[in-house]
């Protein structure tokens, strides 16, 4: 029997039941739901051979696109993925996994409990801290406060705008003693996928390290570069994930058929829609948009990046595959300085490993160690602007969860990774 047959049969039997139970057959209705709690949703790790796992993912993504958000797949490698399963689909999931000879391991038996713990009021301290997660206005408030506290070093900058009218705010750090002509610039992008909360948290932690640390190495790192750091380049999506749907990934633009959002890391004008994306506006995860740069977030941010003078490095933070990725994400062919990028990346990971002994995979292209994906920001920056040092760090976690009390661990790792990365880049002559 063809592997899609049991899925089609299940679809036919359960179509009306889904409509009655979930009312999730259109994204438009999902947008009207007050808060999606994910009560009773289980998280599984699914492992097996690549061919079977590919078949599972392909079939389930079709199912997901039709019924919305029942399985939210996160691929971690060729032989491993994690997925959420609603209570009503557990039996079907178990049967389907067995048919493909895959192995499913339960990680969380009710993800809603984790979601509640993430935003417990007791985690918050007065002001801004790194023992809790914060909504977008709080993050922007922190950036504003830092720009007011260090006016000679910092500037609050706007990298673009969002569909709902928010500004994409970042902090430019450029110390006066280093304001020399031709100073290399570093752009940090974070939070492009709304549900990856650890990335804005870690990015603000790194900002705090750059501005407040008395470690001579970190002070030197701050002074060497013209930093443009953006903790959340998808502010609408992040706010929606914080207030309505914890697993929301996309932007919040509205398509003509009433579905919401596009994947902002599949919407850049590089091999758009070629791999790892689709043209279905109701796809909960990887809809690439109606055209390249259809999303105002990616379009305006690309204009800002294009105008950054002397752009040496572009760093993107994602979660949570725990690996370091290089361009191009949809190819196993290597660019002209690939070997240098690997050498620099290994040094970066070595520095990070010394903090918590957390081992990251890579450096390599996503096509080599994860999956092919086109239309991403990192690849566009490398292709369109020729930026030499371009990396994507996939931070740690379990299906986008990382304990708030341990944010500092990843913050310290990232700080050391940045020290290692730019030290080795300097050793190889990428800047003086």
Active site residues: 394
Q: Taking a C-beta distance cutoff of 8 angstroms, is the pair 423, 347 a contact?
A: yes
Closest by Cα among 253, 290, 248, 285 to 273: 290
Q: ∠56-321-173 over CA atoms, to 5°?
A: 145
CA–CA distance, 66 with 283 (Å, rounded to integer)? 8
User: CA 323, CA 360: separation in Å to the nearest integer?
Assistant: 5
Q: How far apart are CA 58 and CA 371, in angstroms?
A: 13
Query: How far apart are the C-alpha atoms of 382 and 269, rounded to whole Å?
Result: 12
CA 426/CA 431 separation, integer angstroms: 5
């Amino acid at each position: 029997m063809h592997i899609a047959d049991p899925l089609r049969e299940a679809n036919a039997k359960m179509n009306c039941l889904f409509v009655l139970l979930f009312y999730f057959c259109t994204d438009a209705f999902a947008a009207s739901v007050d808060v999606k709690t994910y009560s009773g949703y289980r998280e599984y790790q699914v492992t097996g051979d690549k061919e079977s796992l590919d078949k599972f993912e392909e079939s389930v993504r079709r199912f997901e696109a039709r019924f919305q958000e029942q399985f939210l797949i996160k691929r971690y490698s060729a032989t491993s993925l994690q997925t959420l399963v609603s209570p009503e689909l557990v039996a079907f999931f178990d049967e389907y996994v067995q048919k493909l000879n895959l192995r499913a391991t339960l990680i969380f038996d009710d993800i809603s409990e984790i979601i509640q713990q993430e935003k417990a009021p007791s985690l918050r301290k007065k002001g801004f801290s790194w023992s809790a997660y914060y909504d977008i206005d709080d993050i922007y408030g922190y950036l504003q406060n830092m720009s007011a506290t260090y006016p000679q070093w910092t500037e609050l900058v706007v990298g673009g705008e969002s569909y709902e009218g928010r500004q994409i705010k970042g902090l430019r750090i450029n110390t006066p003693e280093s304001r020399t002509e031709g100073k290399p610039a570093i752009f940090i992008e974070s939070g492009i996928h709304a549900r990856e909360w650890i990335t804005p948290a870690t990015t603000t932690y790194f900002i705090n390290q750059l501005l407040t640390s008395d470690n001579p190495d970190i002070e030197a790192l701050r002074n060497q570069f013209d930093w443009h750091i953006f903790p959340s380049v998808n502010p609408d999506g992040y706010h929606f994930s914080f207030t309505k749907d914890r697993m929301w990934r996309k932007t919040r633009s509205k398509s003509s058929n009433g579905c919401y959002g596009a994947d902002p890391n599949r919407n850049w004008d590089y091999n758009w829609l070629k791999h790892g994306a689709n043209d279905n506006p109701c796809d909960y995860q990887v809809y690439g948009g109606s055209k390249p740069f259809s999303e105002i977030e990616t379009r305006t941010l690309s204009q800002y990046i294009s105008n950054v003078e002397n752009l040496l490095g572009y760093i993107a933070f994602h979660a949570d595959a725990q690996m370091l990725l290089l361009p191009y994400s949809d190819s196993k062919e290597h660019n002209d300085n690939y070997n240098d990028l690997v050498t620099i990346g290994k040094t970066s990971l070595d520095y990070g490993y010394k903090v918590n002994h957390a081992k990251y995979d890579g450096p390599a292209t996503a096509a080599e160690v994860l999956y092919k994906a086109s239309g991403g920001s990192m690849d566009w920056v490398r292709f369109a602007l020729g930026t030499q040092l371009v990396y994507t760090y996939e931070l740690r976690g379990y299906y986008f969860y990382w304990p708030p009390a341990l944010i500092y661990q990843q913050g310290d790792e990232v700080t050391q990774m940045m020290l290692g990365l730019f030290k080795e880049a300097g050793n190889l002559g990428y800047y003086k």
